[in-house]
Amino acid sequence: MYTFLFFKCGYFKVDFFQDVELLQNYGINMADIKKLQAVGICTVKGVMMTTKKRLVEVKGLSEAKVDKIKEASCKILKNGFVTALEVCARRKQCFKISTGSLEFDKLLGGGIESQSITEVFGEFRTGKTQLSHTLCATCQLPNESYKGGKVIFIDTENTLFNIEQEAMLENVLYARAYTSDHQMELLDYVAAKLHEELGVFKLLIVDSIMALFRVDYSGRGELAERQQKLAQMMSRLQLERTLISQQDGYSAVHAHLNEYD
C-alpha cells in the first residue's frame, strides 16, 4: 500500500477576489446568496466552478434561480478571460514553503511550491504524516518572500499527536473526520472559515483523503460509487484552493495525504 501527498495553492490580486455577495448587484436576493454561503460557496468564481447539478441540489435553489445566478456570475467575471500578461504576473507571486530539510528543499527547487500540485508517495512509516506535521510548523515561519500563516488540519486517522510546542499548535485549526460524508461537510466549514479570515490560513492538510472512503465503500460493487465520491472530494478541494488563492495578496498551500490500494 502506498500513500500520496498533494500540495496545491495559488495567488490572485485583490481585483480577482469577488465576494459572492456581489451577486446582489445583479438581481440575486440575499436569501439565495446565504444559501450558497451555507454550502461553502463564498466567491463568484466558486459559483462558476460548481456545476448546475450541484447548485440545484442546494435546498431552496430552483433550476431557474441557478441559471440566473450563473448568468450573474458570468457578468461579474466577464467570462473569466484575462490576458496572458496577467497570468504571468500572478505566476511571479509564487513562493516556496520549506519541508524542514535543506536537502529535500533542494530536490524540490526550494520547497513546496505554491500555484501547483506536488505529489509525494511512499509505503507505511516512510514519513508522509511526519512531513505534514513539519509543514504545520514551517508554514508559520516567514522568509524573504513569504509572511507565514496559519494551518487547517483535517485528520481522518487520528495522526496529529506528540506535538508539544503550544505557540505552534495555537495556529493549527484541527478537526477529526469520522466518515467520508463528514469529511465533505468539514470542507464546507473550511470554505466559510477561509472566507471569514481572509489571508490568515496558508496551509490545508487532509490526512488522509482515501482512508474513510475505503471504509465507507468496500468491495468491487461499490468501487464506481467510491471513485465518483472521491472525484467530488477532489473537485471540492479545488474550490477550496480557489477560495484560499483569491485572498487579497496571499497564497496558500494544500497538503493532502491520500492512500490508495
- Higher-pLDDT residue of 260, 17: 17
Q: 146-198, pLDDT tens digit by residue?
A: 788 888 888 887 777 666 677 678 888 888 888 888 888 888 788 777 777 77
Stretch among 6-10, 14-18, 27-31, 75-79 having the lowest mean pLDDT: 6-10
Q: What is the pLDDT of residue 189?
A: 80
Whether residue 87 is contained in a domain is answered as no
Evaluate if residue 14 carries a pLDDT over 50: no
C-alpha–C-alpha distance, residues 108 and 21, integer Å: 39
Q: What interhelical angle do 30-38 and 63-77 show, nearest 10?
A: 90
Contact 56, 62 (CB under 8 A): yes
* pTM of the predicted model as reported, rounded to 2 decimal places: 0.65
For 162, phi then psi, to 5°, come to 60, 30
Q: Which of 88-92, 172-176, 204-208 has the highest mean pLDDT?
A: 172-176
Whether 131 has a pLDDT exceeding 60, the answer reads yes
Q: With CA atoms as reference, report the closest residue to 255 among 146, 104, 122, 119.
A: 119
pLDDT band at residue 1 using 50, 70 and 90 as cut-offs = very low
**CATH number of residue 207's parent domain:** 3.40.50.300
Per-residue pLDDT at 88 exceeds 80: yes
Model confidence at 6, in pLDDT bands (50, 70, 90)? Answer: very low
**Residue 202 · residue 150 · CB < 8 Å:** yes
The CATH number that applies at residue 45 is: 1.10.150.20
Of the candidates 168, 123, 120, 125, the residue with the CA atom closest to the CA atom of residue 148: 168
Domain count across the chain: 2
Strand partners, 113: 96
Q: Which residues constitute the domain of residue 56?
A: 15-80
d(CA 71, CA 74): 5
Tell whether 110 and 163 lie within a shared domain: yes
How does pLDDT run across 207-216, given as a tens digit for each residue? 777 888 888 8
Q: Give pLDDT, residue 56.
A: 92
Q: Do both 200 and 255 map to the same domain? A: yes
The gap between the terminal CA atoms of the chain, to the nearest Å, is 6
Same domain, 10 and 25: no
Position 243 scores a pLDDT of 44
Residue 62 sits in the same domain as residue 128: no
Cα(236)–Cα(233) distance, rounded to whole angstroms?
Answer: 5
pLDDT of residue 8: 46
